[in-house]
Structure 1
Amino acid sequence: MHVSTSGDARSTPLLLLHGGGVAGWMWEPTRRHLADGRRLLIPDLPGHGRSSDQDYVSHDETVAQLVTVLEREERPAAVAGFSLGAQLAVLLAARRPDLVDRVAVVSAQAVPLRAPGPMLALLRATAGLAKMEWFAKLQASALFVPEDLLPLYVQTSAGISRETLLHAVGDNIAFRVPDGWSGFPGPALILAGAREKPLMKKSAALLHSEVPHSILELVEGCGHGIPLQQPAWFARRIETWLG
């Protein structure tokens, strides 16, 4: 798994986990507003971007790879994830709190779909659309991808295999609050857009209820794309959260 690293290796690392269908480049607008020298770990998750040579197998397999990344650091990391990456952040915090100092969960679905079969069947039949530029641009608009990153989104979308799409989406829509999440001892920040679908708001409330000391915020004016819709605000919120 490709991981970009930058900043002062002696400081607390911040692991940024992107959503499905994008790659580590989605954090570029946020990076522009973070403190200079901050230690950043930004992977391209399996099947995405510069890790597209390996298919996405499962959340479990990906978390195992992320554990290896964090074990190479000299201290526990702050972890922030968006959408699919937010689910991975929850799993990391639940399973390896010794490696996770604090966690920010942005737009994570935590209530599984009741009937995932039809959705996966439709996805299987239409997976080839993701490789078409016109379709990728429509998806980019829904995710609020800025104009300067649109070529990277189109390129990333074209490189995602059918297997990666099915496995990542399959685990995403079946995700539920994992064992261990309620016992996470560190600071937890849970964000969702005020304009997101009810399922996403319900998921955020559920994750918050399981960790009473967590902070829940609905971000006004945002849908499912807070880091790309409001990168300056998001970076300031992360800096405040990091203290």
Structure 2
Amino acid sequence: MHVESFGARDGHPLLLLHGGGVAGWMWEPLRAHLGEGLRIVVPDLPGHGHGTDEAYVSHAVTTTALARLLDDLGRPATVVGFSLGAQLTVQLAAQHAERVRNVVVVSAQAAPMWATRPTLALLGATAGLAKKQWFARMQARELFIPDELLDDYVRTSVGISRASLLRSVEENLRFSPPPAWRSYPGAASILVGGKERSLMKRSAALLHTSLPHSDLRVVDDCGHGIPLQRPSWLARHIEATLDEPPHPA
């Protein structure tokens, strides 16, 4: 797994997990607003960005690799994930709680869609469009990609394989929180955009209900793109969670 690190090597570890179809570069606007004293760790998930030499197999396989990465950090980390990365954040917290100090879960679908075959069949039939620059640029507007990151998005979209695209989307659509999420002891902040689909809002509510000590916030005027639409606000929000106790009282 390709990993880049920024900031203070001895600082509090902050693991940032990107969404499907993008890569670690999506966190650049957020990083610009984070203060000093953090050790920021940004992987490119399998099949994405610099990780295209490794196919996306499953959330389970990726979570295992991320747990090894957390081990290497030497101390429990704050984990922030967006969309597909938010699902992985939930799995890490549920299955490797001793490695995860607290989490910020941004726009995670948590209500599984069981009838996924038609969606995946359509995606498979049109997957070639993702390699067309004109289509990638059109999609970028829907995903709130800023102009300065447009070229990164186009490269990522063109580079992802059909197999990785289909597997990551299938895992995303079928995701449900592991049972151990209900007993995660760390602080958890669950965010969803006020303009997101009702499915995403139901998912955020489900994650919150399953973990009652979590904090649920609806971010006004945001769609499915909080880290890119409100990077300054999200940076402040993340830093505020670092002042919270590692475990609820």
Shorter-chain TM-score above 0.5: yes
Alignment partner, residue 164 of structure 1:
164
Secondary structure of the residue aligned to 1:227 is helix
Deviation of the 1:239 alpha carbon: 1.1
Moved over 6 A (4+): none
Alignment partner, residue 85 of structure 1:
85
1:127-167 CA deviation, whole Å, 9 max, x = no partner?
11110111111111111000000000000000000000010
> Map of 1:38-187 to 2, 5 A cutoff?
38-187=38-187
Give aligned pairs, total: 243
Instruction: Provide the C-alpha distance between the structure 1 equivalents of 2:28 and 2:86, rounded to a whole number of angstroms.
Output: 17
Secondary structure of the residue aligned to 1:15 is strand
Alignment partner, residue 247 of structure 2:
none
Secondary structure of the residue aligned to 1:41 is strand
Q: Give ranges in structure 2 of 5+ residues lacking alignment.
A: 244-249
1:167-218 CA deviation, whole Å, 9 max, x = no partner?
0000000001112000000000000000000000000000000111100000
Identity of aligned residues (%): 58
Secondary structure of the residue aligned to 1:180 is helix
Matched, 1:5 2:2: no
Taking structure 1 as the reference length, what is the TM-score of the superposition? Answer: 0.99
Deviation of the 1:9 alpha carbon: 2.5
Instruction: Provide the C-alpha distance between the structure 1 equivalents of 2:211 and 2:139, rounded to a whole number of angstroms.
Output: 33
Q: Give ranges in structure 1 of 5+ residues lacking alignment.
A: none
Secondary structure of the residue aligned to 1:10 is coil
Instruction: Provide the C-alpha distance between the structure 1 equivalents of 2:177 and 2:49, rounded to a whole number of angstroms.
Output: 28
Cα pair 2:8 2:36 within 8 Å, conserved: no
Instruction: Provide the C-alpha distance between the structure 2 equivalents of 1:174 and 1:114, rounded to a whole number of angstroms.
Output: 6
Secondary structure of the residue aligned to 2:81 is strand
Taking structure 2 as the reference length, what is the TM-score of the superposition? Answer: 0.96
Deviation of the 1:69 alpha carbon: 0.5
> Map of 1:184-223 to 2, 5 A cutoff?
184-223=184-223
Alignment partner, residue 36 of structure 2:
36
Instruction: Provide the C-alpha distance between the structure 2 equivalents of 1:11 and 1:170, rounded to a whole number of angstroms.
Output: 36
Instruction: Provide the C-alpha distance between the structure 1 equivalents of 2:37 and 2:180, rounded to a whole number of angstroms.
Output: 33
Instruction: Provide the C-alpha distance between the structure 1 equivalents of 2:224 and 2:242, rounded to a whole number of angstroms.
Output: 23
Deviation of the 1:73 alpha carbon: 1.2
**Mean Cα displacement is larger for which, 17-26 or 37-46?**
37-46
Instruction: Provide the C-alpha distance between the structure 2 equivalents of 1:11 and 1:154, rounded to a whole number of angstroms.
Output: 33
RMSD: 0.7
Cα pair 2:77 2:102 within 8 Å, conserved: yes
Instruction: Provide the C-alpha distance between the structure 2 equivalents of 1:11 and 1:39, rounded to a whole number of angstroms.
Output: 5
Alignment partner, residue 224 of structure 2:
224
Instruction: Provide the C-alpha distance between the structure 2 equivalents of 1:10 and 1:32, rounded to a whole number of angstroms.
Output: 19
Instruction: Provide the C-alpha distance between the structure 2 equivalents of 1:75 and 1:11, rounded to a whole number of angstroms.
Output: 10
